[in-house]
Amino acid sequence: MSPARPPASRPKAVKSPSSPRLRAAQALEQVWSGKSLDDALVLEGLAPRDQAQAQWLAFGTLRWGLRLEALLNLLLEKPFKAREQDLKALLIVALYELDASRVPEAVTVHEYVALTSQLGKDWARGLANAVLRRYLREKTALDAKVDAMEPAVAKAHPAWLVEMLQQAYPQHWPAILDANNAHPPFVLRVNARVISRDDYLARLNEAGIAARAHPASPAGIELDTPQAVESLPGWQAGLASVQDAAAQRAAILLDPQPGERVLDACAAPGGKTAHLLERADIALTAVDISPARLKRIRATLERLKLPTATLIAGDAAQPDDWWDGQLFDAILLDAPCSATGVIRRHPDIKYLRHAEDVAATAVLQQALLDALWALLRPGGRLLYATCSVLPAENAAQIEAFCQQHKDAHLASTPGSGQILPGTEGMDGFFYALLVREGQ
Ligand SMILES: C[S@@+](CC[C@H](N)C(=O)[O-])C[C@H]1O[C@@H](n2cnc3c(N)ncnc32)[C@H](O)[C@@H]1O
């Protein structure tokens, strides 16, 4: 009698797969469970080309995932079980790639079918093959079916956000959804301390990088295609930074004057801190609650060769813990917010934010405003900023603040107010410049 054969070993899923497609699928699965895309997408160990593909797939899949999930449901006889979320994520990435890439479809299907084995799910090869081939056969009809579903599904947004946008912008909400699904432009801010915009445009031109002056920001330059920052002329010498034109408005609106004491209250990673220092010689204090993020400010100021600022890890809503008691001439409060204005840059927001977060964030913003107002000298100005499009965090927040603080006056400065995503190519932002009455 021959000895009993050992049971056939089941293939095991690979932890850090070499396939960029699997890395994107893993990232999607982790964002579903609450991780940010920055933390979820692991690029280590991939060649630069594969890193770019993993990023392209992860961003595209998160941008359109809520729609692709509905599409996948139309293709399945029964939904995936909890232990099959890895397979579900892989098929959603596959549907995105089949729709968005120019790789021959048969090759793409073949690749994804093979990847089911790397998940340790050989049994799913037939299923993946059938689902993806049926999608290709019935694409037009299936896409039309999803187009006809409610806007939250067809335009891939969470239903709560669509409802809030419809309420706030009864005319404009469809354009906001479209802008959130568009690819963001790659925008630079030229360091005005060391080079003019025209001269930096000439440097880009010499380097063969197509770019033009941004119409919405005096220091802004928009590139035709995104670039690795290290390949930009004078990057290490601090000639330029990456920053959307809407974010570039903060320093312009606060307009720091030489010698002023300025507080940047929620400062990390420091894009606006640096811009303030590029515009004037000021005594700047930058506070952020996250010590890890505060380190990034230091690195940014060093690269840009800017004068030092006082950097403090602290809670801006509890100034007694860190304030030296001297009033500020100007304060920037770039408050934590829903980030609903920058979804085109951070599509994971569609999964990570929830309706109840908006009210909770508004409470935090109010506490920050109240605490910081007491630090402003009479006649001084506080610029309140968010990258949100929701009135509860913006206009309604400021209206309530002005009602409760009779010494607060809302300045009607051009360029302030609500910027909707896509307006003049910008991210969605909100600015309110408050002046404290008195001398
Ligand atoms: C919108 S981001 C600021 C972006 C920054 N101004 C820039 O331009 O690079 C908000 C920041 O607020 C910080 N933050 C959140 N709650 C805070 C608090 N209570 N006190 C101070 N900082 C806080 C977060 O760590 C985050 O870095």
Q: What is the pLDDT of residues 370-413, one digit of tens each?
A: 999 999 999 999 999 999 999 999 999 999 999 999 999 999 99
In this structure, the answer to whether residues 189 and 137 fall within a common structural domain is no
Q: Is residue 100 part of a domain?
A: yes
Q: At what angle do helices 85-100 and 20-32 cross, to 10 degrees?
A: 120
288 is known to lie in a ligand binding site: yes
Q: Is 342 in the pocket of ligand 1 (CB under 6 A)?
A: no
Q: Rounded to whole angstroms, how far apart are CA atoms 388 and 267?
A: 17
Q: Is residue 262 part of a domain?
A: yes
227, part of any domain: yes
Residue 165 maps to a domain? no
Same domain, 416 and 284: yes
Whether 191 and 336 map to the same domain: the answer is no
Asked if 237 and 321 sit in the same domain, the reply is no
Locate the ligand 1 atom nearest the alpha carbon of residue 243 and give its number. Answer: 8
The DSSP letter of residue 285 is: E
For residues 219 and 248, membership in a common domain is answered with no
The two tokens of residue 194 are: 């060391």
Rounded (5°) CA angle 87-350-43 = 55
Average pLDDT, the chain: 95
Which among 134, 151, 168 is the end of a domain? 151
Task: Specify the pTM.
Answer: 0.94
Provide the pLDDT for residue 386: 98
pLDDT at residue 123, rounded to an integer: 96
Which of 194, 228, 243 terminates a domain? The answer is 243
Ligand 1, atom 15, residue with closest C-alpha: 336
Residue 269 is assigned to a ligand binding site:
yes
What digits encode the pLDDT tens for the residues 238-291? 999 999 999 999 999 999 999 999 999 999 999 999 999 999 999 999 999 999
Question: Does 14 map to a domain?
Answer: no
Whichever domain contains 193, its CATH number is: 3.30.70.1170
Ligand 1 centroid to Cα of residue 362, in Å, is 14
- Residue 238 and residue 243: Cα distance in Å, rounded? 14
Domain count, the chain: 3
Instruction: Give the mean model confidence (pLDDT) for residues 172-177.
Output: 98
Q: Are residues 261 and 401 in the same domain?
A: yes
Catalytic residue among 89, 204, 240, 387: 387
* Mean pLDDT, residues 57-61 taken together: 98
- pLDDT grade for 12, boundaries at 50, 70 and 90: low
Distances (CA, A) of 422 to 182, 245, 345, 389, 393: 9, 11, 12, 12, 20
Show the domain range for 250: 244-436
- Quick one: 251 and 227 in the same domain? no
Task: Tell me if 337 is assigned to a ligand binding site.
Answer: no
- Rounded to two decimals, the ipTM of the complex is 0.99
Point out the domain boundary residue: 243, 269, 284: 243
The CA 363 to ligand 1 mean position distance, Å, reads 15
Residue 177 in any domain: the answer is no
The CATH number of whichever domain residue 117 belongs to comes to: 1.10.940.10
Task: Specify the pLDDT at position 17.
Answer: 84
Q: Is 336 in the pocket of ligand 1 (CB under 6 A)?
A: yes
Question: Looking at the domain assignment, is residue 323 inside a domain?
Answer: yes
List, for residues 294-328, the tens digit of each pLDDT value: 999 999 999 999 999 999 999 999 999 999 999 99
Instruction: Indicate if 335 and 409 belong to the same structural domain.
Output: yes
In a domain, 126, yes or no: yes
Q: 270: Cβ below 6 Å to ligand 1? A: yes
324 is in an annotated binding site: no
Verify that 282 and 239 share a domain, yes or no. Answer: no
pLDDT tens column, 136-165? 999 999 999 999 999 999 999 999 999 999
pLDDT > 70 in the chain, percent: 97
Residue 310 sits in the same domain as residue 265: yes
For 122-131, the pLDDT digits (tens) are 999 999 999 9
Preceding amide of 269 cis, omega within 30: yes
CATH number, domain containing residue 314: 3.40.50.150
Ligand 1 contacts CB of residue 287 (under 6 A): yes
Index of the ligand 1 atom closest to the CA of residue 287: 21
One domain for residues 237 and 253: no
Same domain, 265 and 132: no
Nearest CA to ligand 1 atom 17: 289
Residue 91 CA to ligand 1 center (angstroms) comes to 36
Assess whether 387 carries a catalytic annotation. yes
